[in-house]
Amino acid sequence: MIDSKTKLCELRDKWQAAFENEKARILVCAGTGCVANGSLEVYEALKKEVEGYGDYVTVDLIIEENKSGVSVVKSGCHGFCEMGPLVRLEPSGVLYTRVKAEDAKEIVDALVNGKEPVERLLYHHPTTGEIYKEEHNIPFYKHQNRNSLGHCGVIDPEDIREYIANGGYQALGKVLTEMKPEEVCQEVIASGLRGRGGGGFPTGQKWEFTRIAKGDKKYVICNGDEGDPGAFMDRSVMEGDPHKVVEGMAIAGYAVGADEGYIYVRAEYPLAVNRLKIAIQAARNHGLLGENILGTGFNFDLKIKEGAGAFVCGEETALIASIEGKRGMPMPKPPFPAQSGLWGKPTLINNVETFANIPGIINKGAAWFKGFGTEKSAGTKTFAITGQVANTGLIEVPLGITLREILYEIGGGLRDGKKFKAVQIGGPSGGCLTEEHLDMPVDYDSLLSAGAMVGSGGLVFMDESTCMVEVARYFMTFTQNESCGKCVPCREGTKRMLEILERAVNGEGRPEDVETLEELALAVKDGSLCGLGKTAPNPVLSMLKYFKDEYIAHVVDKKCPAGACQALKGYSIDPEKCKGCSKCSKVCPVGAISGEIKKPFVIDADKCIKCGACVSSCPFKAIKEG
Amino acid sequence: MNAKNTVIIDHKEVELNGEKNILELTRKLGIDIPTFCYHSELSLYGACRMCVVEVEGRGIVASCSTPPTPGMKILTNSPRVQRVRKTVLELLLANHDRECTTCEKNGNCKLQELANRFGIKRIRFGERDVKLPIDDSGTSIVRDPNKCILCGDCVRMCAEVQGIGILDFSNRGAKVVVTPAFNKNFSEVECVNCGQCSAVCPTGALVVKSETEKAWAAIHDPEKFVVAQVAPAVRVALGEEFGLPAGEIVTGKVVAALKRLGFDKVFDTCIGADLTIMEETTEFIERLQKGEKLPQFTSCCPAWIKYAEHNEPELLKNLSSCRSPQQMFGSLVKKYWAKELGKDPKDIYVISIMPCTAKKFEAARPEFTTEGAPDVDLVLTTQELARMIRETGLLFDQLDIESFDTPFGFTTGAGVIFGATGGVSEAVLRAAHELVTGEAVEEVNFEAVRGFAGLKEATVEINGTKIKVAVVHGLGNAKKLLQDLKAGKADYQIIEVMACPGGCIGGAGQPISTDPEVKKERARGIYNADKLSQLRKSQDNPIVAKFYEKWLQKPNSHEAHEALHTNYSPRGRILGEDIQLLSSRRKHKVDVAVCVGTCCYLKGSYDTLKRFMEKAEEEGIKHRLNLHATFCLEGCETGPSVRINGEVVSGVTPDKADQVFAEIVEKLPENHRD
């Protein structure tokens, strides 16, 4: 039981010393991505290997007996998911990539016997071929500032002592002993932190609104209902550094006058749920949650509410309805949750990453935080980079960085040297940006003015082979499925936008669709009840803004310039290349190809079902697609 | 800073007077902003997005959920506003079964009206792509999900005003539907047929079941002697259908119209009401003297009765055993008057004209029959009668008035006020003292029980005993009162419950109106009719006295009990829904069903069920059981109920679970208890 700030500091020093006493530690990434790739087997193999050397000692023993040795620890996500399973060595900082269980022997042998790291497991740059020994030198990491992700991949998320040893709960101790609630709110306002869940509302102001709201009971809610396709920032924080979220929430509780909090996590994140449960229990056991925290008289406790995974439950009023056991549907605002939220009480609701930024701001000060990012978009932001980029994964960069830096410096450019076409930012609520935006700063306001949004931070990079109409259709399918169905524009409008887009990719587009789609998109944007509906047309609108020609090509010329839409593909035989071998006409399942032997064959476009069988059958590459 | 408490609406400065939202403010200014989902008596929903306005600096907002703040600049008809409204209408119409000409709501449909108002002439989107089944399983309401625009008015009406909540949303995105639990039909759930859902439905998705064809068939059948009875609330509302003001008393025209339609006799349900007062007051006095089954609840409202049967099995004994005025009337006609006429009850066809949709259900209850014939053959709502009158081409407002026929035509003011909330109580109060003491009551106006407050109370002294009366209307208010009663926070001797807000004048069979003033006008009409009556007290009705003399002896006599009273039994809330938990294909097995309906659940049946599951595991007989959770075994008072191989065992509280489980095990042959 930690009953005072002094005790907290003592323990920090004690455990820090214990960890420093370790000879070395092997951190195996146990984030969802690496686990799926077999990192748990790697962990078991490494553990066995180290035990074989006889000086494997568990972390517990190190602390209790101040023994020195090599430990093997499961950590949270390192972010470089593309290269997983990842194994990181401390204190050397060596990062092994794509590790398999059978590599364990070599890894441990090199570590224990002071040999050079296993070269073939080190990161090889795909284009330059350069080999990187330490994690922080790899371009993927070099351009990042991992603040909120600072502990992810570095500490064992299931051991509160590691968090405390790394300065954990110091910020909570500081606010409880040195700051008044209004000062905490002021500090957060001064930091310029804006909501990391999408909207970008100034966090400090939200806190202040909730603080001054009248109410005998208030709540703090952490929104962990991350639902954008391809986004996993919040999951990684919850899995990799759950105590930071807990600490951020407790600080918020103190600042706004709440004694109870909820973490709303989707049930599809079982690992996050489990780690949060462990963290909450450990914090309770150590007196960092519960009653009279650190002997200051402040009470705060947390509950986890598992959501069923509806995208709309990321909308705060729908999320609150869901916690209350109702159908997850948004309510009109006002009243805002800060006035009347959970069970009608003033409620502060922030995203996971927002809370994870709080301890840093309190410990290092608002000025430190403002040192990152731009004037209006302070701090660092995590992004999940996916799509046709070489290095997919989770990154944290200062806001204001350009897309070009993210794509080429961190992401390593597009796969297979293909040409960049567009990047989808902010998931189904965001929009796509093009070549012309690559040097635009990535911050809340610049993105918004370009028709996209930071959103929760998903970045999907697309190359020239991507059809932008198809991308818009994909996101529209998602929003239509995830619409709660409450308000007319979102429920019916997304359905009809999808219908129009489906017509386009199926070659059934009508010329008047161009105008109808745009008008519908604008009405849905204006008319919808909640953020989900208001932003649902963004992928369509940005497609119409930047790729209108491509859309017109679909509906008017019935062509897909990217050659991606199957229904719009046309096949023809190049008479120059065709030798008249008849192979293609033999494989054609509908008899659409005819001709005389040794003379160029022809495809009857009316009969052709665009299956593509002829293309692969032709030994002379005479059949053209497109 | 804007020092003035004003906003600018459409470039005009307007003062604020505490309006809750912009919509309310614009209505005061004579701008009828369209909406489907805003109703002042329901909670804010904000889903239809028709009421959007443009606010400078904030863009498009829903006027229903945005409070006006000083200095706001609002445009109610900007191009952006128009675009949203027209798009919403077009989207709704695209997904709507547009069979307008054959729709029950044709001419009375909000969607139709707004499409016309906005001049929507073209739908650019596809047609509705699914055809969902229509639910006409119930007696009263037909639900056509293909016409639903998902405004949620019915959902909120049922849950918030009526406290029932049989309707809710299910599914997501474009697949969302409003439906009873488990996609059941109305007839399989605890719907009380009050029809308030249909009264707020802006389209033809929820409509009153129309039975005018049956009425015509009977009228045109030479073998049938067709008799009408007209409920009190009809006479102050029917005129609305023909352009007359709400609340205007059109009794004489209703009688004239019915005769012109071809009814053989036209009678007044109020005589049934007067009889009810005699019976119910006598019953109350007896209970009061014995000090039992108090408070006594009124039983005139069939929706309330069904609500109680579903939800309050323990209170059923407290309900007055009196049939409703409609059924008392029907019973007398078929049991006694038919004999006087020398007719077979089957040949007399009784059609009630009611403000109520639940009356259709009541008339169909199997207990209300005479020699196999229903006491009331058909119930038509005010709306349906209006349609029949229109069909004939009669100019209702120009009809010469006529009088009710004898013998069921003479009534008192006490019978008439049954039509408004508080009326039954007031009529009882006019009678009680006199029936106990024989002294005539001078003051007949009991203002305390009139009006539209959710709960009204009055205390009167009858022969030295203080009687506390409570009046509630709207089942949500009744639910609250029952909770207080059970918690010991309320104490009454008489409780009047009417399911519909405002009482029968607010019935779902009445002409459709969402204007709250209309109900007030109808109530005014009812009390005017009372004031104009020669006699104001049921006990003064000479015809009623004659009925007792000729047929019934005296109130609560054996004869009266046979003809005018009934009894109630608990009803399950969801029919035919079992949840299979364990299933066995073995030859030797035991079938066990545990009731998890409300009453049993509250007594711990869910824990009993869990214990059974554990025991089945422990004893290794999981594969020998067919274990279900079921919704009602209709043994509500003695629950938790468990059905073992068809036999219902009562009182299986969690502490008795092990003992009962042992009995289950014993049903298996010895060698099969492996």
- Each residue of A378-416: pLDDT tens digit? 999 999 999 999 888 899 999 999 999 999 999 989 988
Question: Residue A292's CB: how many other CB atoms inside 10 A?
Answer: 11
- The predicted structure's pLDDT at residue A274: 94
Q: What is the pLDDT of residues B362-388, one digit of tens each?
A: 999 999 999 999 999 999 999 999 999
> B376 — phi, psi (to 5°)?
-120, 120
CATH number of the domain within which A581 lies: 3.30.70.20
Pair (A604, A520) in one structural domain = no
pLDDT in tens, A232-252: 899 999 999 999 999 999 999
Judging contacts by C-beta atoms under 8 Å, the chain A residues touching residue B49 are 487-489, 527-529
Residue A63 has pLDDT above 60, yes or no: no
**Chain B residue numbers touching A510 (CB-CB < 8 A):** none
Q: What is the percentage of chain A residues whose pLDDT exceeds 70?
A: 97
Residue A109 lies in a domain: yes
Measured CB to CB, residues of chain B less than 8 Å from chain A are 44-49, 52, 59-60, 62, 64-67, 80, 83-84, 87-88, 91-92, 94-95, 124-126, 149-150, 152, 168-169, 171-176
Q: Give the closest of A332, A485, A522 to B169, CB-based.
A: A485
Claim to verify: residue A354 and residue A416 sit in the same structural domain: no
Between chains, do A333 and B52 touch, taking CB under 8 Å as contact? no
- CATH 3.10.20.740 region(s) of chain B? 6-90
Mean pLDDT of chain B: 93
Q: Does A334 touch chain B (CB under 8 A)?
A: yes
Contacts of B48 in chain A (CB under 8 A): 487-488
The pLDDT score that the predictor gives to residue B668 is: 81
Q: What is the C-alpha to C-alpha distance for residues A554 and A506, in angstroms, rounded to an integer?
A: 9
Domain boundary among A507, A522, A555: A555
- Check CB contact under 8 Å for A491 and B150: yes
**B298/B281 Cα distance (integer angstroms):** 10
User: For B135-224, where are the E strands, in sequence order?
Assistant: 141-143, 168-170, 177-179, 206-208
CA distances to A315, A357, B358, B471 from A223, rounded to whole Å, are 9, 14, 46, 46
Specify whether domain B578-672 bears CATH 1.10.3720.10.
no
Residue A57: pLDDT over 70: no
Cα distance between residue A394 and residue A235, in whole Å: 11
Q: Is A415 exposed, middle or buried (0-12, 13-18, 19+ CB in 10 A)?
A: middle
SS3 B394: coil
Minimal Cα distance from A483: which residue of B? Answer: B173
User: What pLDDT score does A64 carry?
Assistant: 55
pLDDT at B315: 92
Distances (CA, A) of A176 to A290, B103, B351: 14, 67, 76
Q: What pLDDT score was predicted for residue B1?
A: 45
Work out the percent of chain A whose per-residue pLDDT is above 90. Answer: 70
Cβ separation B174–A480 shorter than 8 A: yes
**pLDDT recorded at residue B53:** 97
| pLDDT above 90 (res B3) | no
Provide the CATH number for the domain around residue A50. 3.40.30.10
Task: Tell whether A148 is covered by a domain.
Answer: no
Regarding whether A575 and A543 lie in a shared domain, the answer is no
Highest mean predicted confidence (pLDDT) among A79-93, A552-566, B415-429, B641-655: B415-429
Residue A154 lies in a domain: no
What is the third-level CATH fold of B212-564?
Rossmann fold (3.40.50)
- pLDDT at position B325, please? 97
pLDDT-based confidence at A68, cuts 50/70/90?
low
Structure tokens at A610: 């665009």
Mean predicted confidence (pLDDT) in B637-647: 86
- In terms of domains, do A165 and A225 share one? yes
Backbone angles phi, psi at A401, to 5 degrees: -65, 155
Q: Is residue B669 over pLDDT 80?
A: no
Structure tokens at B181: 């639990």
Cite the residue boundaries of each domain of chain B with CATH code 3.40.30.10.
Answer: 578-672
Q: Where are the beta strands (DSSP E) in A95-183?
A: 95-96, 123-124, 131-132
pLDDT digits (tens, 9 = 90+) for B427-482: 999 999 888 888 888 888 999 999 999 999 999 888 888 999 999 999 999 999 99
The CA distance from A357 to A193, in Å, is: 8
- Within 8 A of A516 by CB-CB distance, chain B residues are 124
A277 within a domain of the structure (yes/no)? yes
Q: What is the domain-level CATH number for residue A541?
A: 1.20.1440.230
Give the pLDDT confidence score for residue A13 in this predicted structure: 92
pLDDT digits (tens, 9 = 90+) for B242-294: 999 999 999 999 999 999 999 999 999 999 999 999 999 999 999 999 999 99
For range A547-568, the mean pLDDT: 90
Q: Are residues A313 and A451 in the same domain?
A: no
| Segment A305-310 mean pLDDT | 90
| Nearest chain A Cα distance for residue B35, angstroms | 12
Q: For residue A334, what pLDDT is reported?
A: 87
Q: Mutate which of B21, B42, B44, B49 to test chain A, going by most A C-beta atoms within 10 A?
A: B49
* Residue B129 CB burial class (10 angstroms; 0-12, 13-18, ≥19): exposed
A456 and A346 within one domain = no
- Residue intervals in chain B for CATH 3.40.50.1780: 212-564
CATH 3.20.20.70 fits B6-90, yes or no: no
Say yes or no for a CB contact (<8 Å) between A310 and B44. no
Say if the Cβ atoms of B46 and A487 lie within 8 Å: yes
Q: Is the pLDDT of residue B567 over 70?
A: yes
Same domain, A190 and A273: yes
Query: Is A335's Cβ below 8 Å from some Cβ in B?
Result: no
Q: Which band of pLDDT confidence, cut at 50, 70 and 90, is reported for residue A131?
A: very high
pLDDT at B637: 77
Residue A120 has pLDDT above 70, yes or no: yes
Mutate to test the interface with A, among B93, B125, B177 (most CBs of A within 10 A): B125
Q: Note whether B83 contacts A331, CB cutoff 8 Å.
A: no
Over residues A55-79, mean pLDDT: 69
Contact B173 A523 (CB under 8 A): no
In a domain, A2, yes or no: no
In a domain, A144, yes or no: no
Pairing verdict, β B6-9 and B12-15:
antiparallel
Both structure tokens of B277 = 């007062």
Task: Show the tokens assigned to B293.
Answer: 């089954």
Nearest CA in chain B to A532: B173
3-state DSSP assignment of residue B380: strand
| A187/A335 same-domain check | yes
Residue B577, pLDDT score: 65
Tell if the CB–CB gap between A527 and B48 is shorter than 8 Å. no
Domain with CATH 3.30.70.20 in chain B: 95-208
Both A311 and A335 in one domain: the answer is yes
> Which residue from A334, A485, A524 is facing B176, i.e. has the nearest CB?
A485
pLDDT of A65: 55
Distance of alpha carbon A172 from its chain centroid, rounded? Answer: 27
Q: Which residue of B has its CA nearest to A327?
A: B169
pLDDT digits (tens, 9 = 90+) for A201-237: 999 999 999 999 999 999 999 999 988 887 889 999 9
Q: Is A348 within the bounds of a domain?
A: yes
* A319, A352, A370 - which closes a domain: A370
CA distance A437 to chain B (A): 27
Residue B415 CA to residue B576 CA, distance in Å, equals 41
Q: Give the one of A496, A522, A527 whose C-beta lies nearest to B49's C-beta.
A: A527
Query: In angstroms, how far is CA A581 from the centroid of its own chain?
Result: 52
Total structural domains in chain A?
5
A579 near B CB under 8 A:
no
Alpha-carbon gap, residue A48 to B503, rounded angstroms = 79
Shortest Cα–Cα distance, A594 to chain B (Å): 39
Confidence of residue A61 (pLDDT cuts 50, 70, 90): very low
Hey, is A600 helix, strand or coil?
coil
Under the banding of pLDDT at 50, 70 and 90, the label for residue B581 is confident
Among A29-33, B197-201, B215-219, B472-476, which stretch is predicted with the lowest mean pLDDT?
A29-33
What is the ipTM, given to two decimal places? 0.88
Domain B95-208 has CATH 3.30.70.20: yes
Structural domain including A94 reads 11-139
Beta strands in B307-355 (DSSP E): 348-354
Query: Are A246 and A347 within one domain?
Result: yes
For residue B440, count CB atoms less than 10 angstroms from its CB and return exposed for 0-12, middle for 13-18, buried for 19 or more: exposed
Contacts of B169 in chain A (CB under 8 A): 327, 329, 485-486
Q: Coil, strand, or helix at residue B449?
A: helix
Mean pLDDT in chain A? Answer: 91
pLDDT tops 80 at residue A112: yes
Do both A298 and A232 map to the same domain?
yes
CB contact under 8 A, B84 and A327: no
Q: What pLDDT, in 10s, does the model give residues A518-533?
A: 999 999 999 999 989 9
Instruction: Tell whether A155 is covered by a domain.
Output: no
My answer on whether A170 and A281 are in the same domain is yes
